[in-house]
Amino acid sequence: MTALCIKNLVKTYDNDVHALRGINLDVNEGDFFALLGPNGAGKSTAIGIISSLVNKTSGTVTVFGHDLDTDIVGVKSCIGLVPQEFNFNGFEPIFNTITNVAGYNGIPPREARKRAEHYLKRLDLWDKRRSTGRELSGGMKRRLMIARALVHEPKMLILDEPTAGVDIEIRRSMWEYLTEINSENGTSIILTTHYLEEAESLCRNVAIIDRGEIIENGSVADLLSQAMQETFILNLYEPVTEAPTIEPFKVRLCSEPNQLEVDVPKGHSVSDMFQALQSKGVVVGSLRNKSNRLEEFFLRLVNQSNKDSQ
Amino acid sequence: MSYWQLQLTAFLTIVRKEIRRFTRIWIQTITPPAVNALLYMLIFGGLIGSRIREVNGVAYMDFLVPGIIMMGIITNSYGNVVSSFFGSKLQKYVEELLVSPVSNATILAGYVTGGVARGIAVGSIVSLVALFFIDLKPVYPMATLCIAVLTSVMFSLGGLINAVYAKTFDECSIVPNFVLAPLTYLGGIFYSIDMLPPIAQKLSLFNPVLYMINGFRYGILGVSDIPLWQSFAVVFAFIAILGTIAMVLLNRGVGIKT
Ligand SMILES: Nc1ncnc2c1ncn2[C@@H]1O[C@H](COP(=O)(O)OP(=O)(O)O)[C@@H](O)[C@H]1O
Ligand SMILES: [Mg+2]
């Protein structure tokens, strides 16, 4: 079943900022999915619309078959949200924060207390149950929001930049929690991030969002290998009818019979590629670089992450 | 779990949370109105009132007490909802409600009930204080209670609307200080409108608070400037109008969604 299906989603804020310019997205049940993009790409806006915090301008959102426009209760019951910014009552004991949200989801008091105990223990916050939210450390606050998001046992957990600004150790333990939740209960997880490393080591599938548009969408492994290569268009002296096989290069035919497209992985030289082609009897006259927008995108991401950690 | 069970559980959760909030900070929420009321009764009722002849055929202290109780109910119902709902916007935990399958009607009912709980709690404490001064035996207990609760509902709705629009704490106190306080003080707490010049009497009839205070006073003393049915009509009309406005604002997400 499709956990999340987004079609032509548009959001224009009142100040005329086009935060989403018609995005399409599908996430399968049980997936661990990353929405990867730099600051201001529109990640939080997309998450906000899915979780009813932001009104969409147009488009449709369907969550486990429930349409946001016609069955908002169905949509909300399927979703647990961990937002980018802290949004709990800092003056309330965290045990109450959890039981309140359980109550908002229709869970009666006795069961709410049981669940609060279970999820506070699970997120290592049980010792702190009588503390107020503002007395917690940054990592604990984030965990409080995860416990709160899980208390109604949603089919889909959405986390908006769960590890932005937290130190590497906490980030790793957060990754462990999330991996456990995903594998044990089959909870679908969607997280947004601007850390390439996070998407890479945690998620199976990824959509790349930039300036309000999804520019790529697929398995993490595929997208990474695409980014880690250069593609050339070769003009040949003589036309070929089939693409030669020359590992580790990938060769494809083009629409022009005397052209070939070749992927050269990082770390391999262009002259190796020429030699390999020559050994198959293919002679290259000239070549040009095909622009790689993924590479360009990743470079920008990495730059931003570096700035972040400085 | 059916839809209605869910809404009922959510409603009770909001109400419990709201009552817990004002009882936890009772020094700020319950004691000041009691102290205020005590001072009013001592100064206006005791010191000054002893030199005033009867008003509407009752001793001035008796006349004063219902107004003082009502003032506590009005201010505290409004104040409870405006500060609680605004606080939830400021710290963003209103989002806990927005992402949950709670209907807007349930949210509204929950916050209003919280405001009524505070209003009636304060009203009861002020009534206890009044027992030091007078014998408080309502002539029409049901009417008294109904007017008190309905007035509390009305001002709780007002507090919620205020909180929806407010962007700063200042904006939470403008209406209470510059609209509510004058209307309350000029709403016949301290005097009967019979004592006013004819123009002021006419103008007073446009003040909705006059109807509530007089309705409440009628319930307790059996005397009033205003027929009881008019008091009920005015308070019901305001509940209908403010309730509709509040629902429209919540449905549109004004001040809470972008
Ligand atoms: N409430 C808002 N009002 C106006 N513009 C907004 C609002 N929230 C976000 N934006 C703008 O929308 C764009 C996308 O923002 P956002 O979704 O927060 O991006 P991300 O989460 O990827 O960093 C940005 O240009 C941002 O300035
Ligand atoms: Mg964001």
Average pLDDT over every residue of B84-91 = 96
Q: Tell me, what DSSP letter sits at residue B37? A: H
- A19 in contact with ligand 1, CB cutoff 6 A: yes
Greatest Cα pair distance in chain A: 79
Q: What is the pLDDT of residue A145?
A: 96
> Length of chain B, please?
258
Q: Whose CA is nearest to atom 1 of ligand 1?
A: B258
Are A48 and B99 a contacting pair at CB < 8 A?
Answer: no
pLDDT tens across A53-80, in order?
Answer: 999 999 999 999 999 999 999 999 999 9
pLDDT tens across A121-151, in order?
Answer: 999 999 999 999 999 998 899 999 999 999 9
Q: Tell how far the Cα of A196 is from the centroid of ligand 1, in angstroms.
A: 20
Rg (CA), chain B: 19
Q: How far is CA A293 from the centre of its chain?
A: 18
- A37 in contact with ligand 1, CB cutoff 6 A: yes
Contacts with A111 from chain B: Cβ below 8 Å? none
Q: Tell how far the Cα of A45 is from the centroid of ligand 1, in angstroms.
A: 6
State ipTM: 0.92
Average pLDDT score over chain A = 90
Contacts with A86 from chain B: Cβ below 8 Å? 92
Of A52, A85, A105, the CB nearest to B98: A52
pLDDT tens across A241-256, in order?
Answer: 888 888 888 888 888 8
Q: Is the pLDDT of residue A270 over 90?
A: no
pLDDT tens across A23-36, in order?
Answer: 999 999 999 999 99
Q: What is the pLDDT of residue B109?
A: 98
Are A106 and B5 a contacting pair at CB < 8 A?
Answer: yes
pLDDT tens across A222-241, in order?
Answer: 887 777 778 888 888 888 88
Per the model's pLDDT, the better-predicted residue between B101 and B1 turns out to be B101
> What percent of chain A is helix, strand and coil (3-state, nearest 5)?
40, 30, 30
- Residue in A closest to B258 by C-alpha: A54
CA–CA dist A228, A289 (Å, integer)? 14
Q: Tell me the pairing of strands A205-210 and A32-36.
A: parallel
pLDDT tens across B180-224, in order?
Answer: 999 999 998 988 888 889 999 899 899 999 999 999 999 999 988
Residues of A with CB under 8 A from a CB of B: 13-14, 48, 51-55, 72-73, 76-77, 79, 81, 83, 85-90, 96-97, 99-108, 148, 152
Ligand 1 atom index nearest CA of A38: 22
Q: Is B25 part of the contact surface with chain A (CB cutoff 8 Å)?
A: no
Give the predicted TM-score (pTM) of the model: 0.89
Are A106 and B91 a contacting pair at CB < 8 A?
Answer: no
Q: Reduce the DSSP state of residue A239 to 3 states and report it.
A: coil
- Residue in A closest to B110 by C-alpha: A104
Q: How far apart are the first and last CA of chain A?
A: 42
Question: How many other CB atoms sit within 10 Å of the CB of residue B131?
Answer: 10
Q: Domains in chain A, start-ordered, CATH in brackets? A: 2-224 (3.40.50.300), 229-309 (3.30.70.1560)
pLDDT tens across B134-171, in order?
Answer: 888 999 999 999 999 999 999 999 999 999 999 999 99
CA–CA dist A178, A82 (Å, integer)? 12
pLDDT tens across A73-82, in order?
Answer: 999 999 999 9
Q: Whose CA is nearest to atom 27 of ligand 1?
A: A40
How sure is the predictor about B57, in pLDDT bands with cuts at 50, 70 and 90? confident
Q: Tell me, what DSSP letter sits at residue A54? A: S
Q: What is the pLDDT of residue B108?
A: 98
- A38 in contact with ligand 1, CB cutoff 6 A: no
DSSP-derived secondary structure for B183-252:
HHHTTTSSS-GGGS-HHHHHHHTT-HHHHHHHHHHHHHHS--SS-HHHHHHHHHHHHHHHHHHHHHHHHH
Of A13, A104, A108, the CB nearest to B96: A104
Distances (CA, A) of B77 to B113, B214, B231: 9, 18, 18
Q: Report the candidate in B194, B199, B244 with the shortest Cα–Cα distance to residue B58.
A: B194
pLDDT tens across B225-256, in order?
Answer: 889 999 999 999 999 999 999 999 999 999 99
Q: Is the pLDDT of residue A287 over 90?
A: no
Among A12, A13, A16, the mutation site with the greatest number of ligand 1 atoms within 8 A of its Cβ is A13
Q: Report the candidate in B96, B257, B12, B104 with the shortest Cα–Cα distance to residue A148.
A: B96
Record the tokens describing residue B178, joined without a space. Answer: 């510059």
